[in-house]
Amino acid sequence: MPGANVTGANLVGLQNVNMLGDTVNYTCETGKLTNSGADTIVLTFTENGWTGMDPTFICYNATTTFPPLPNVTQGLVGNFSGPAPPFYVSTNINYTCPENTATKNGEVYTTLTFTEYGWESLDPNFVCLEVNFLPPVLPPEAYVGGYLFGDDPPFHIGYVVNYTCLNGYQSTKKNGSTIITFTTLTLSENGWSPLDPEFECEVGLI
């Protein structure tokens, strides 16, 4: 009989009586591979007994495939990157958003780890959305008495930034007798909406 049992492998092909030249296989259990990526080793029965055993043939939890790409209902599908397969327990890979996309938090990648139970699940909240890293461009005169304020980039489609007047300046736009204190610019697939031409900042009361 061949040597001691191999961790994570099954012995296949052993007969009650073996003849010279007979072979048996140690085959890794489902979901396991050796450090070299092999899943089988062949032993041959010779005049000196069974030969071909490699003491480093140990089967570990592993996979040769990346996790499945998410089935997204919004945003764009990214890509996996990292070391070449096979992947063993504690191996990390990155799921990266396509160019010019990011999550709502501005993240462009997340890391998944292969565990003894398989790949970690991708966070369903990690969604790659089209983004713009540039704020709206205003005419030079708009910066004399006003300024933009809002979230920092990246900006997603549908995001808004506000334009308001500096201290010492006052908006010329009114709703009845009420002064409109700010106006918004919205990012669409075509870029930022233009600044409201009726909203101007003139020197006024501080």
Residue 78 and residue 113: Cα distance in Å, rounded? 17
Q: Beta-carbon neighbour count of residue 136 at 10 Å?
A: 19
By residue range, what is the domain housing residue 69? 64-131
CATH for 21: 2.10.70
4 located within any domain: no
Coil, helix or strand at residue 136: coil
pLDDT for 183-202, tens place per residue?
999 998 888 999 999 999 99
Q: What pLDDT was estimated at residue 100?
A: 85
Q: Which of 18-22, 29-33, 84-88, 112-116 has the lowest mean pLDDT?
A: 18-22
2 located within any domain: no
Q: How does 103-117 read in b/e, with b if 16+ C-beta sit within 10 Å? A: beeeebbbebebeee
Q: How does 3-35 read in b/e, with b if 16+ C-beta sit within 10 Å? A: eeebebbeeeeeeeebeeeeebebbbeeebbbe
pLDDT for 132-148, tens place per residue?
888 999 999 999 999 99
Residues 80 and 53 in one domain: no
Q: What pLDDT was estimated at residue 205?
A: 55
Residues 98 and 124 in one domain: yes
Number of domains in the chain: 3
Residues 180 and 195 in one domain: yes
3 located within any domain: no
Of 42, 62, 82, the domain-final residue: 62
Residues 165 and 177 in one domain: yes
pTM over 0.85: no
Q: What pLDDT was estimated at residue 4?
A: 63
CA–chain centroid gap for 107, Å, is 9
Question: Residue 16 pLDDT > 80, yes or no?
Answer: no
Coil, helix or strand at residue 155: strand
Residues 57 and 72 in one domain: no
Residues 70 and 54 in one domain: no
